[in-house]
Amino acid sequence: MNYALNSTDNAAAALAAIRQMIETGKLPANGRLPTERDLAAELGCGRRIVRRALDALETEGLIWRKQGSGTFAGQPPDPTGALAAEIAPDADPLVVMEARLCIEPALADLCAKRATGEDVEKLRKLAHRASQPLDADTAELWDGALHRAIARIAANRVMLTAFALLDEVRMGSDWQEKRHRARSPETMTLYDRQHRDIIDAIERRDGQAASTAMRAHLEALSENLKTSMESSTE
């Protein structure tokens, strides 16, 4: 595709061209788009125009830039990976679960204070997916997505980073192997019930109840984890 602008160049045309460039997905795997200088050459306009268009797209949240590195489509990555990798190797699943019990009830409280109706809708959808009788791995993924969504809705950057750290440690540690996760139909329905309790409390803007419900849910998870670990050492 040729993105060169015709003679009626203007900022709006450049913006549209770059936006199309992004949305048609004609980008390398890492989402990196051409340098500003290259874009200017390709579009046949000056760098100033390109920068203005990129400014708009950045404000829009469609791209992010880093001086010396480049311009990328999508969201800037979370730099929690290194930290998590440092902790994960010697992360006892019970320690991780204890940390979840510290952080997630508080997040549920904040979430209840800030969730919009739209947010609650999303949560319900995620809970529904997690409750479907798929294989254990998939259910785990949707469960993780639900908890992550609650953290995101809480809208506190510091807490979100702390949660991201916790989340990566949880997924990265060897515990992935240790999950015998005796996810019987009974526990599945229990978890679903607990998810609904949490979301109901969030919808009622009842932070206290959301926190309590989340705590109950995590304690059930913890209990399940303990029994599965004991049975694995037999």
Partner DNA sequence: GTGCCGAACCATTAAGCTATTGGTCCATGC
Partner DNA sequence: GCATGGACCAATAGCTTAATGGTTCGGCAC
99 in contact with a second copy (CB under 8 A): yes
CA distance 217 to 234: 27
Fill in the amino acid letter for 76: P
Q: How far is the CB of 145 from a second copy (least distance, A)?
A: 21
Which range, of 35-43, 130-138, 153-161, 193-201, touches a second copy by CB under 8 A? 153-161
Q: Of residues 66-125, which lie at the interface with DNA (CB under 7 A)?
A: 66-71
Would you say 72 and 21 are in contact if contact means Cβ atoms under 8 Å apart?
A: no
How far are the Cα atoms of 90, 116, 129, 206, 222 from residue 113, in angstroms, in the given order?
A: 35, 9, 24, 8, 26
Would you say 4 and 42 are in contact if contact means Cβ atoms under 8 Å apart?
A: yes
Residue from 124, 128, 161, 216 that binds a second copy (CB under 8 A)?
161
Strands 63-66 and 32-33: unpaired
Choosing among a second copy, DNA, none, which partner's interface includes residue 40 (Cβ < 5 to 8 Å by kind)? DNA
Would you say 199 and 120 are in contact if contact means Cβ atoms under 8 Å apart?
A: yes
Q: Name residue 66's beta-bridge partners.
A: 70
Residue 205 φ/ψ region, left for φ over 0, alpha for ψ in the -120 to 50 degree band, beta for the rest:
left
157 in contact with DNA (CB under 7 A): no
46 in contact with DNA (CB under 7 A): yes
7 in contact with DNA (CB under 7 A): no
Q: How far is the CB of 106 from a second copy (least distance, A)?
A: 3
91 in contact with a second copy (CB under 8 A): yes
20 in contact with DNA (CB under 7 A): no
* Nearest in space to 111 (alpha carbons), one of 160, 150, 158, 166: 150
Choosing among a second copy, DNA, none, which partner's interface includes residue 156 (Cβ < 5 to 8 Å by kind)? a second copy
75 in contact with a second copy (CB under 8 A): no
Choosing among DNA, a second copy, none, which partner's interface includes residue 167 (Cβ < 5 to 8 Å by kind)? none
- Cα dihedral 47→48→50→54 (10° resolution): 130
CA distance 60 to 106: 30
Tokens of 55: 């400014």
162 in contact with a second copy (CB under 8 A): yes
174 in contact with a second copy (CB under 8 A): no
Residue from 9, 42, 197, 200 that binds DNA (CB under 7 A)?
9
Residues lying near DNA in the complex (CB under 7 A) are found at 9-11, 35-37, 40, 45-49, 51, 54, 65-71
Residues lying near a second copy in the complex (CB under 8 A) are found at 79-80, 82-83, 86-87, 90-91, 95-96, 98-99, 101-103, 106-107, 109-110, 156-159, 161-162, 165-166, 169
